[in-house]
A and B are shown apart, each in its own frame.
Chain A
């Protein structure tokens, strides 16, 4: 599992380092710690503040003070000073003693009840490994048998008791760490439980145990006191040294547990004031300055264009300045700068810059001013404008409605019923937004959806063998909503709605069964109606997750991860094995999780899901709508269009799944799978066939190693048609720029005619494009993307390959490619070389990762995601760069393992 650790600062968050869970050793390994050379991130992970905290630094006296001060009456009184000894940074407990609040910790208890989630942390040293009872380390209780919670030592492991509405007043059964897990020396222990009931016990940053403790904290007694080192009232003493105890009103995730451990018992791992200041400056740069420079300056002042010899896309370029000299005035002894003397400020405040563009707003100028005053600190070496394309809406989490494909697959997985024809006929089409048709913010609902869902529910039930289906969840066929049937409904609900259902849901669905009974219906009809209601419920139509919480990110629950796993890999609901593992909490085990990923990737549904990606990404559906000019393209027909689409899909399966090659090989794999008509259209030379017919059909796999022009996804007609009838270099070039290089290009500059001249004798698309690039106003942008399409000039508007155009002009396919962020273009001699350059490009590999991740998550990626996506990409590349590896890396990442919560009001 990969993730990153952040620390809370006044102005934001600080990346401490990456951590990785070695799935084989089941251990936490710090892969890289960048302490000191901090990288800032707007990521959501952070360590929250405790509501009560004791640092045992008093050194004398009989009171241990709460250092937070949020509540009254939570200082601990040492009842017998002779039993303890103050030591450096802590307290040694030598014999039975109570450290207990003088009064009930009422306010604290109320706060925890309201939150529904908590975490309890302690730093201790244990000498005696035979203590039992368990020996009370921290207890919020009344006596040995009445508690809200108790963290104790039971010989060589920790034990935690928790009272909930589903646990007795003694908090039994308890959650115990594995036998023998308690370590010697100074130990950090953290128990954390979310409002969903998921509880984890960590020791020194490692996850020791996980359990689902059902119920909520509504029955906690507000009259209990907090005790350390013994039970309230005595009788369960603990001995050892204690250095810190903290209580939080929220659950903490794995990264936060690791981070708290990293900070150390006395905060020795905390950042210095200088580090904090630097971190704040980095944060400011990342969140405010980099987007500003990206949006307003890099059009003319990036590594490629460097107008005025100024490159503002890199730290080194910033430091060098341009033709007019350095950008910054010298700072004072503490680095503070007077911006009024800096060149960049002069140009911006006077609206001289951005040149011939809208001036910066007052707010943006203020941002720049503040940054300059602070010394113009950069957080990283290079600004990538692509990550600022989508304005981050931190905390805005859209529930995902099932796409039509997902709905069909979910019905199939849940009931074994094929509803495809009806669903495609009745459900309104999913509309593309930001490159994909599963973009959650855009998946709104209309009356037609509601009507379709109702009709589909009826169809599903009509096609379902209701009694056989019901038999999976119980033997009874008795229509009795008071006993067996309610249990059956609970089980059916758990399956159909992809997770446990609440009491109120049980009651509601039982009500449907009751109505059936009241009209003289039977068991079968009752189950049919219940299922019909469930299929129309939001929990079926949407992928509902628990989004409320502290406002920070949290680890997703077992059923949430099961669903994420299933929809990402299959585009369908979890199967029985996955659902069963989620019920048992088995997916917390990274080895089990990996086994499941492997199992699911071997299933054909994973292939089908990946094909949805390629189809959506390349918008292959548009091929059915194309109507090229029949006079110019008489060979075009719908059969050919269908075969073009199929070529790309087959190619993807062959390269990615059959041959298991990296995603970037899609750009230059020298093969294709073609129907006879398409092969004829491509005019492949005789003898280029290498392998057999596929699956007994007409399609044949061709080896293209010796075929000039073809080889790679960009040379397939399905993609080449993006250029329209005129094989527009602008359209093709922009596709490569946006979809393969994640490049950014601005709108045309002033005073140019954007209507290109038509080709003619002596005037090719290439020469027209070159004229645009040579133009001082157009070339600034066109040089970034049109040369990307030069290599494709020999392909006409529908993807046929020619050496001359319709006017008889000789066509070329040499050119040069300028990778985003690079200063110098790279030349290529033909389309094959262009494809090889793209396939080898790290930028292209990154872009493919971004595209797959966007599709998998169902939302556009923003600057907030950039760190995680890069980590996923790095992990994927390390493992080979294939689709399977990308899926594994993605699923282990925080983008899947965690959810951004919204603070409950």
Chain B
């Protein structure tokens, strides 16, 4: 794999998106749909959680941009690297960081079940503060997507959680899924039969009424259940909106991307034994996902959510040459280099074997690759087609929190594993002091609450009686 993947060759119809899609036309010049919608001077609040699996051991973080963080260097003025963030309180007995650390990423709390976090994630706290009555019509309320394979627990790959700790949205793991979630047209109306259309409308109205009743004051449900049905109602409304409200505008939507060539669903995680994958296969699919996600953001179809590049505790056996800026950095061959098949031949094992005083060559290459791919996504939000009304790019204006599951992959010291978890944030329109690497040495909760507070949220993550200790160094 050399250089960047050409979006236009991968995203069939990408040109259509860029040129022909009405949303994008609206976006050009003033950047976002939101600006067109009467917010020309107001930059919309956006918050995304960007997750990568397996982490960067703390000692490697100390090397700054000279080490595995090198691919982030071109964006260093737009990033604030945070070292020394710990999630010790997230430790669940009998569970290593692939589970509890992964769920703590962006929530700073221990999991409350295999598919439930102990509290909301950063993006959702900000979303609820910024849009207590819901997002503007036509938007995907929370967009959760990713390229990943390991899936034994939801917390490994989903990184956006509702205020009650449940997953905030369904994971879109194929480019086509993501495309349909964001740009898809509901095939609700079938052409020319107006009578059938009217009846369908009537049925849908009735369905909407039933859901409204189920979340209303006379609902038989308690608050927890209501929250679930309320989500369902939101999706029905979105369905309605897609079927009727945006139908005309979606007419120029591009063709859907080709079917994914990678494994998905249960077959992507064969009994925890890992899968074989080439660098090209991985990067091609990821970049397509990253492009689609970025396009959704640029078209103001999504302001909150998460994007995952490889799951916590990911198990892949990667093969292929790895290049960065025309330099060949490494030849991946996990199974061959480890002389093992199955799970023991996976790149995951390099993290188990990390030693501070050794070269850790394979681990470094994997981590470097991850940073390169995260940078790819970030740069997609930093181009001339991603300029907001205030003249800054979406990357400048958004809060993008980058994190992972652990600060050490050896599973042999909770203190070490859940401390020094890599974090980086963007500037969020000047709120945070980018352009530096900060040793915050603080608990994740304090860091997160400082971030969400600066984003205008009064909700405090973590135990109610806990005293918040702001990490002022983050703020401008």
Residues of chain A touching chain B, judged by Cβ–Cβ distance below 8 Å, are 295, 299, 357-358, 363, 390-391, 393, 395-399, 401, 428-429, 431-435, 439, 441-451, 454, 457, 504-505, 508-509, 511-512, 515-516, 519-521, 525, 529, 532-533, 536-539, 541-542, 544-548, 621-622, 624-629, 631-632, 721-722, 724-726, 731, 744-755, 758, 797, 860, 901-902
Quick check: A627 and B273 within 8 Å, CB to CB? Answer: yes
Quick check: B93 and A448 within 8 Å, CB to CB? Answer: no
What's the least CB distance linking A805 to chain B, in Å? Answer: 15
Tell me the bound Cα distance from A542 to B225 in angstroms. Answer: 10
What's the least CB distance linking A202 to chain B, in Å? Answer: 25
Name the CB-closest residue of B to A725.
B342
Which chain B residues lie closer than 8 Å to A444 at the CB level? 166-167, 169-170, 228, 231
- With A747-B95, A754-B411 given, is the CB distance from A622 to B270 under 8 Å? yes
Interface residues of B in 347-368 (CB under 8 A from A): 349, 352-353
Which chain A residues lie closer than 8 Å to B91 at the CB level? 358, 747
Quick check: B266 and A625 within 8 Å, CB to CB? Answer: yes
Tell me the bound Cα distance from A428 to B410 in angstroms. Answer: 35
Binding site of A, secondary structure by majority: helix, strand, loop or mixed?
A: loop
Tell me the bound Cα distance from A545 to B226 in angstroms. Answer: 12
Quick check: A547 and B220 within 8 Å, CB to CB? Answer: yes
Residues of chain B touching chain A, judged by Cβ–Cβ distance below 8 Å, are 88-89, 91, 93-96, 112-116, 153-154, 166-167, 169-170, 180-181, 184, 186, 188, 195, 198-199, 202-207, 209-211, 213-214, 219-225, 228-229, 231-232, 235-236, 238-239, 242, 265-273, 275, 339-344, 349, 352-353, 410-416, 463, 465
Interface centre among B94, B214, B413 (most CB of A within 10 A): B94
* A398 in complex: contacting residue of B210, B228, B269, CB < 8 Å: B228
What's the least CB distance linking A855 to chain B, in Å? Answer: 15
Interface centre among A521, A546, A748, A749 (most CB of B within 10 A): A748
Quick check: A511 and B225 within 8 Å, CB to CB? Answer: no
Quick check: B93 and A445 within 8 Å, CB to CB? Answer: no
Interface centre among A397, A454, A511 (most CB of B within 10 A): A454
* A508 in complex: contacting residue of B181, B206, B343, CB < 8 Å: B206
* B113 in complex: contacting residue of A357, A755, A860, CB < 8 Å: A860
A-B contact pairs, 8 of them (CB 8 A): A432-B114, A433-B116, A515-B198, A628-B273, A726-B343, A748-B96, A750-B416, A902-B223
Quick check: A747 and B352 within 8 Å, CB to CB? Answer: no
Quick check: B170 and A626 within 8 Å, CB to CB? Answer: no
Name the CB-closest residue of B to A514.
B202
Quick check: B414 and A546 within 8 Å, CB to CB? Answer: no
What's the least CB distance linking B154 to chain A, in Å? Answer: 6
Quick check: B93 and A504 within 8 Å, CB to CB? Answer: no
* B270 in complex: contacting residue of A625, A749, A901, CB < 8 Å: A625
Name the CB-closest residue of A to B465.
A363
Interface centre among A525, A542, A745 (most CB of B within 10 A): A542
Quick check: A625 and B267 within 8 Å, CB to CB? Answer: yes
Quick check: A519 and B199 within 8 Å, CB to CB? Answer: yes
* B341 in complex: contacting residue of A393, A434, A443, A632, CB < 8 Å: A632
Quick check: A446 and B235 within 8 Å, CB to CB? Answer: yes
Tell me the bound Cα distance from A399 to B222 in angstroms. Answer: 9
Quick check: A624 and B225 within 8 Å, CB to CB? Answer: no
What's the least CB distance linking A568 to chain B, in Å? Answer: 19
Given A396-B224, A444-B169, 20 additional A-B pairs, CB 8 A? A399-B228, A442-B166, A442-B167, A444-B170, A445-B232, A445-B235, A447-B181, A448-B170, A451-B186, A451-B239, A508-B210, A533-B206, A536-B210, A538-B214, A544-B221, A621-B266, A629-B341, A725-B341, A746-B94, A755-B349
Quick check: B412 and A752 within 8 Å, CB to CB? Answer: yes
- With A515-B202, A548-B221, A754-B411 given, is the CB distance from A744 to B93 under 8 Å? yes
Which chain B residues lie closer than 8 Å to A433 at the CB level? 113-116, 153-154
Tell me the bound Cα distance from A512 to B202 in angstroms. Answer: 6
Quick check: A434 and B207 within 8 Å, CB to CB? Answer: no
Tell me the bound Cα distance from A627 to B270 in angstroms. Answer: 6
Which chain B residues lie closer than 8 Å to A395 at the CB level? 222
- With A444-B166, A625-B267 given, is the CB distance from A747 to B94 under 8 Å? yes
- With A454-B188, A508-B206, A538-B229 given, is the CB distance from A744 to B94 under 8 Å? yes
* B235 in complex: contacting residue of A401, A450, A457, A546, CB < 8 Å: A450
What's the least CB distance linking A85 to chain B, in Å? Answer: 49
> Which 4 pairs from chain A and chain B are nearest by CB?
A902-B222, A433-B115, A446-B170, A725-B342
Quick check: B225 and A547 within 8 Å, CB to CB? Answer: yes
Tell me the bound Cα distance from A525 to B353 in angstroms. Answer: 67
- With A441-B115, A860-B113 given, is the CB distance from A454 to B239 under 8 Å? yes
Tell me the bound Cα distance from A747 to B170 in angstroms. Answer: 30
Quick check: A629 and B114 within 8 Å, CB to CB? Answer: no
Quick check: B198 and A724 within 8 Å, CB to CB? Answer: no
Tell me the bound Cα distance from A742 to B170 in angstroms. Answer: 31
Which chain B residues lie closer than 8 Å to A542 at the CB level? 229
* A445 in complex: contacting residue of B89, B153, B231, B344, CB < 8 Å: B231
Quick check: A722 and B271 within 8 Å, CB to CB? Answer: yes
Which chain A residues lie closer than 8 Å to B242 at the CB level? 447
Interface centre among B210, B341, B415 (most CB of A within 10 A): B210
Which chain B residues lie closer than 8 Å to A429 at the CB level? 265
What's the least CB distance linking B315 to chain A, in Å? Answer: 10
Tell me the bound Cα distance from A626 to B270 in angstroms. Answer: 4
Quick check: B207 and A533 within 8 Å, CB to CB? Answer: yes
Tell me the bound Cα distance from A433 to B156 in angstroms. Answer: 12
Name the CB-closest residue of A to B240.
A450
Which chain A residues lie closer than 8 Å to B89 at the CB level? 358
Quick check: B203 and A529 within 8 Å, CB to CB? Answer: yes
Tell me the bound Cα distance from A521 to B193 in angstroms. Answer: 13
Quick check: B170 and A533 within 8 Å, CB to CB? Answer: no
* B236 in complex: contacting residue of A450, A632, A901, CB < 8 Å: A450
What's the least CB distance linking A308 to chain B, in Å? Answer: 20
What's the least CB distance linking A648 to chain B, in Å? Answer: 15
What's the least CB distance linking A164 to chain B, in Å? Answer: 17
Which chain B residues lie closer than 8 Å to A529 at the CB level? 199, 202-203
- With A536-B203, A724-B343 given, is the CB distance from A755 to B116 under 8 Å? no
